A and B are shown apart, each in its own frame.
Chain A
Amino acid sequence: MKQLIRSPVFKRLFRPVLTSSCVIGKRSSHFTYFPDTVPESQGETVRLNLFQSINNALDTALATDNSAVVFGEDVGFGGVFRCTIGLQDKYGKDRVFNTPLCEQGIAGFAIGVAVGGATSIAEMQFADYIFPAFDQIVNEAAKYRYRSGNLFDCGKLTFRAPCGAVGHGALYHSQSPEAYFAHTPGLKIVVPRGPIKAKGLLLSCIRDNNPCIFLEPKVLYRSAVEMVPTQEYTLPLSSADILVEGEDVTLVGWGTQIHVLREVADLARQQLNVSCEVIDLVTILPWDRQTIFNSVKKTGRLVVAHEAPVTNGFGAEIAAAVQSECFLHMEAPVERVCGFDTPFPHIYEPFYLPDKWRCLSAVKKIINY
């Protein structure tokens, strides 16, 4: 009997048949990844995904700054997303270590490390769990320099947290909390779109003299692969990237959404004969207003897209600033394509996300306004 079951014939006959209506395997993602490239002048490159490039940036930070320490829940063995793999072995338990399970403690401790003169790199396991640390980040970290008249500061402090939709994360493994923190003067908030940007931006954050929150789109950890320069480099914060130049509509986003918007630009060109300018904001706070204003003054039309819920999402800030600054240049109102005003759902994720069809539809709408 055992032999029968093991036979290839048996296996072929009784292979489970799944119809498309009940596939519960891995869903295809809502975006196509558009890798960045670097010119040859950048030197030798190596194929890295997002978590590897982040690991590389952390490795560099630890190698070049003896005071630097990396800590958080489970970072010792490599972290739940492998961003800290190998670092404890390389730099020792006093520099790369686990903390107890307490985000408010991680944040407070992280501030104190920086105030004490060391470079402080704290991981929040998921951006969804950063909220117990909200008081420390908003009331303490952001205000440390201001309230002390610059006697004290926690500038050498960086928080890292995985954020954003991942296909199945639901309410508590998918959030994009940038808007809450963008309302807090004193913080810097940065979101990379891929490995090349991540390495340079994270190193910039770590070396920046202000407390930074580095939000890493978790769905890109493995799927975003680029040829990343092996040498050490930093990239400027507060400088938006014009990825595609265009004449008719400005599309603004950050993180994973950039890849959605790049595809939307292609579809707009193919289907609507519309030329889109795609801009990665890169830094949410302080944000590069000038690049956005210049673009909208040229195109007269703006679509902002983000996964976070539309009401009071960061798109609202961009829309308000743009209409104030570029009013006479606008051909149509600013369109925001965002998550809906619901908690991030599980099974309904395909309906929730600001996908390419909703973004393309928004382009169509304002072109014909």
Chain B
Amino acid sequence: MAASMFISGAILSRKLLSVRVLSECVRVTNLRCLSSGLVEEQPNFPGSRSKWTESLDFVQPDLYDGIPVYRVMDRKGNIIDPASDPKLDKDTVVKMYQRMTLLNTMDRIMYESQRQGRISFYMTNYGEEGTHIGSAAALDDNDLVYGQYREAGVLMWRGFPLDRFMNQCYGNEGDQGKGRQMPVHYGSTEHNFVTISSPLATQMPQAVGSAYAFKRAQNGQCVICYFGEGTSSEGDAHAAFNFSATLECPVLFFCRNNGYAISTPTSEQYRGDGVAARGPAYGIATIRVDGNDVFAVYNATKAARHITITENRPVLIEAMTYRIGHHSTSDDSSAYRSVDEVRQWDSTQHPIARLRAYMVTQQWWDETQEKAWKDDCKRQVMQSFARAERRHKPSWKEMFTDVYDEVPDHIREQYEYMAAHVAEYEEHYPVKNFVKNE
């Protein structure tokens, strides 16, 4: 085969006097004819582009030590290699710190409010504030965000007001989600944050689809998709990784590996080298970072975004962190992990503490400012909370709208039936809490 191609190339070159044709034949035949015999040196299966081997070796899972964790700061908040310091200006760093602490304060108050029966449910973000703020700060505000449910800091960064967080949790008339979903299922078009849904990993292939649409629209934006390490076990995660690579989409996959999926530790979630090891297997450029190091998260996200935008291909960031809080208000994590373990993470390597240490070193922050800001946070959150609690719920007619773009007859008839029923049995329904139906 190889020899005949060489020969036919020579004939063609005589007939066509085409140097290009001849060199093409030479390129194709490569070293095959020049080596001894005509044995193929490379396998030519359509499915793989590797080499031959005659050793019966399995690639064992412990082949290497694991993808290393990129960091900028040490555990105490000191920059290790000055070259990796993103050297953000004071305003940006102070904003980062303030948004992380405001989130932390809001979490404490909202968690308590659930315990007091004021809201039905809540999820805190303790320990993961660095993953939110570091990544959000490195994105463009118009990049579309698909979240899982533990990314409130991204909205914080983008300026989603406290009132809107509260309104959604209370499901009151100020909630743009119209009270349809459980607390923490935030969404905002102005902040380019797709409304959260409870099923896990469903957002992942959707993020890929939106990225594809952005690529076609050539709007210069990327899509970022947040998910936890537990979620990465879902089939939709596999689908998303594969589609993002084959369809060449500008999507940034950001995995918050926080050690637990409710009670399931990572040792029961996966056996390989975390989520990062899967990236290259799908053809995705991948990095693992210290999720509690805001600057590392920032640098990695910035670089990753650049790849997605300029090369229209996906990137995977696995941010290693720790879920300091319970999974949600329905969970008591002392049932499956030691209080000591949690305390340890709450006191060392905390993203907020490390950033504060950096700011103090830069002389951008001190005890006085810390106290003043803490009080300010608390005041802001409490006032917003009080406002939200006082408001009515939306008109219950909204239960029947937005199923379709327009209300079809059968749904309208169901509303009319219920309106008549409520009119007759009003004392049995919490009508007073709701805005009056028109």
Residues of A bordering B, CB below 8 Å: 67, 69, 94-95, 97, 99-100, 102, 104-105, 107-118, 120, 132, 135-136, 139-140, 143, 145-153, 155, 185-186, 188, 209-210, 238, 286, 289-290
B209–A99 CB distance below 8 A:
no
Contact with A151, one of B177, B239, B403 (Cβ below 8 angstroms): B177
B236–A209 CB distance below 8 A:
no
A151–B187 CB distance below 8 A:
yes
For residue A69, which residues in chain B have a CB less than 8 angstroms away from its CB?
212-213, 216
A136–B205 CB distance below 8 A:
yes
For residue A286, which residues in chain B have a CB less than 8 angstroms away from its CB?
404, 408-410
7 further contact pairs, Cβ within 8 A, besides A135-B199, A147-B177: A99-B247, A112-B206, A116-B213, A140-B199, A145-B402, A151-B177, A188-B404
B217 CB-CB contact with A under 8 Å: yes
B434 CB-CB contact with A under 8 Å: no
B293 CB-CB contact with A under 8 Å: no
Residues of B bordering A, CB below 8 Å: 144, 175-181, 185, 187-189, 194-195, 197, 199, 202, 204-214, 216-217, 223, 235-236, 238-240, 242-243, 246-247, 401-405, 408-411
Say how far A201's CB is from chain B's closest CB, in angstroms: 17
User: Can you list 22 A-B pairs, Cβ within 8 angstroms, ordered by A?
Assistant: A67-B217, A69-B216, A99-B246, A99-B247, A108-B205, A109-B205, A109-B209, A109-B243, A110-B209, A113-B209, A115-B213, A116-B214, A118-B213, A135-B199, A135-B236, A143-B197, A147-B180, A149-B179, A149-B180, A149-B402, A152-B195, A185-B411
B185–A238 CB distance below 8 A:
no
A139–B199 CB distance below 8 A:
yes
| Assembly CA distance A69 to B204 (angstroms) | 19
B213–A113 CB distance below 8 A:
yes
For residue B247, which residues in chain A have a CB less than 8 angstroms away from its CB?
97, 99, 109
Q: Which residue of B lies closest to A146 (CB)?
A: B402
B177–A104 CB distance below 8 A:
no
B235–A140 CB distance below 8 A:
no
Contact with A108, one of B181, B239, B411 (Cβ below 8 angstroms): B239
Q: Which residue of B lies closest to A289 (CB)?
A: B410
| Assembly CA distance A155 to B408 (angstroms) | 15
For residue A112, which residues in chain B have a CB less than 8 angstroms away from its CB?
205-213
Q: Which residue of A lies closest to B198 (CB)?
A: A139
| Assembly CA distance A67 to B177 (angstroms) | 27
| Assembly CA distance A150 to B189 (angstroms) | 10
For residue A113, which residues in chain B have a CB less than 8 angstroms away from its CB?
209-210, 212-213
| Assembly CA distance A120 to B205 (angstroms) | 14
Contact with A147, one of B197, B217, B236, B246 (Cβ below 8 angstroms): B197
| Assembly CA distance A353 to B242 (angstroms) | 40
B177–A105 CB distance below 8 A:
no
Which of A100, A109, A132 has the most chain B CB atoms closer than 10 A to its own CB? A109
For residue B403, which residues in chain A have a CB less than 8 angstroms away from its CB?
145-146, 185-186
